[in-house]
Amino acid sequence: MSSSVAVASRAGVGASKASPRDLFITALAPTVWGSTYLVTTEFLPADRPLLAATVRALPAGLVLMLVTRTWPRGSWWFKAAALGALNIGLFFFLLFFTAYQLPGGLAALVMSIQPLFVLFLGVLLLGERIRMAHIIACAVGAAGVGLLVLRSDATLTLVGVLAGMAAALSMAAGIVLTKRWGKPDGVGLLGFTGLQLAMGGVMLLPVTLVVEGLPGSVSAPNLAGFAYLGVIGALAAYAVWFRGIQRLPTMVVSFLGFLSPLVATVLGFVFLGESLSGWQIVGAVLVLGAVLLVQRPGAVAGPKFPGKAEALEQPEELP
């Protein structure tokens, strides 16, 4: 058995069944991330998205590393940096850059291509099969996101679309490589989460200081918003997200991300008085349908290379 396959085995690449408990726990992450827009607009300093991303990632990551006494060793200096960039640093930067270039609805629509990237990267790096259910679910999910968030007066910019696609590719690559590499030997889930948050936060910090700088003052609501994003939106949410990546098939995890725009739409309706049209309700149904479609028996395939099958059958047990 090769070392890469052994690592994939520890990460549970070949898991073909998604238990309801693991699905529910993993879905908490994109559900929490759906509240980011509400928290950012109502509690954080205006026009400082990079500051929000840095404060969200770096303190939580450093605290987890210190508490768990986790430090990268050997090849994991590179792997932790790569995962920290793809899942946190580069992804957050591209996400907020896209948000500045495109209206929020269009940004979410462009990024709904992410499951498609996961699909093809899974074939290349994990030996997974493409099923027709995957293609249908990608189309249904993207249509649902479009109905949820798209506005008739929205305009596209080429740089915004490219940035959004790059953000989706970054997140997709992070999901697949996290699945392929697993965790460092002897490192727990919280330590693994801390490594990535800290690495991503360190990458974001200089960009934040150069582009935005620090605010002149910080109010109590600002502190509450930063605390929520750091503790709930980063520490807790990413811990259950990485847990889900290790326990569930990559396509299942990827499609759970569609819950974020759905939750954001609902919270905007409940707390901000935003309208909710009939087409948005149809979009919500389509989003949920796409998420459920990839849970069907036979919708998630194991590795297409027979030599890997035995090595990829047993996922590592996590808390």
- Predicted confidence pLDDT, tens digits, the chain (319 residues): 333 333 333 433 334 456 889 999 999 999 998 888 788 888 988 888 889 889 999 999 999 999 999 988 899 999 999 999 999 999 988 887 887 777 666 777 788 889 989 999 999 999 888 888 888 988 998 898 888 877 655 567 888 889 889 999 999 999 999 999 999 988 999 999 999 999 999 999 999 999 899 888 899 999 999 999 999 999 999 999 999 999 998 888 998 988 888 888 888 888 877 777 888 889 889 989 998 888 775 555 444 433 333 333 334 434 4
Q: Does residue 125 lie in a domain region?
A: yes
68-124 tens-digit pLDDT: 999 888 999 999 999 999 999 999 888 878 877 776 667 777 888 899 899 999 999
- Closest listed residue to residue 12, CA positions, set 192, 172, 248, 199: 248
- 317: in domain: no
Instruction: Give 10-39 pLDDT, tens digit per residue.
Output: 433 334 456 889 999 999 999 998 888 788
How far is Cα 191 from Cα 42, in angstroms, rounded to an integer? 31
Cβ atoms 248, 23 nearer than 8 A: yes
* Residue 162 within any structural domain of the chain: yes
- Quick one: pLDDT at residue 278? 86
What's the CA gap between 23 and 254, in Å, rounded?
Answer: 12
Q: Is residue 110 situated within a structural domain? A: yes
Question: Rounded distance, CA 229 to CA 160, Å?
Answer: 25
Structure tokens at 127: 């030996």
CA-to-CA distance for 262 and 141, rounded, in angstroms? Answer: 11
Question: Percentage of residues in the chain with pLDDT exceeding 90?
Answer: 40
Domain that holds residue 82: 18-213+222-296
Tokens 């819950």, residue located: 259
Helix, strand or coil for residue 187?
Answer: coil
Is residue 276 situated within a structural domain? yes
Q: Is residue 115 part of a domain?
A: yes
- What's at 244, amino acid-wise? G
Q: Is there a domain that residue 61 lies in?
A: yes
Count CA within 13 A, CB hemisphere, residue 254. 35
Angstrom distance (rounded) from CA 211 to CA 282: 40
Residue with tokens 């693991």: 22
Can you spell out the DSSP letters for 6-31? Answer: HHHHHHTTT-----HHHHHHHHHHHH
Number of domains into which the chain is organized = 1
Q: Is residue 8 part of a domain?
A: no
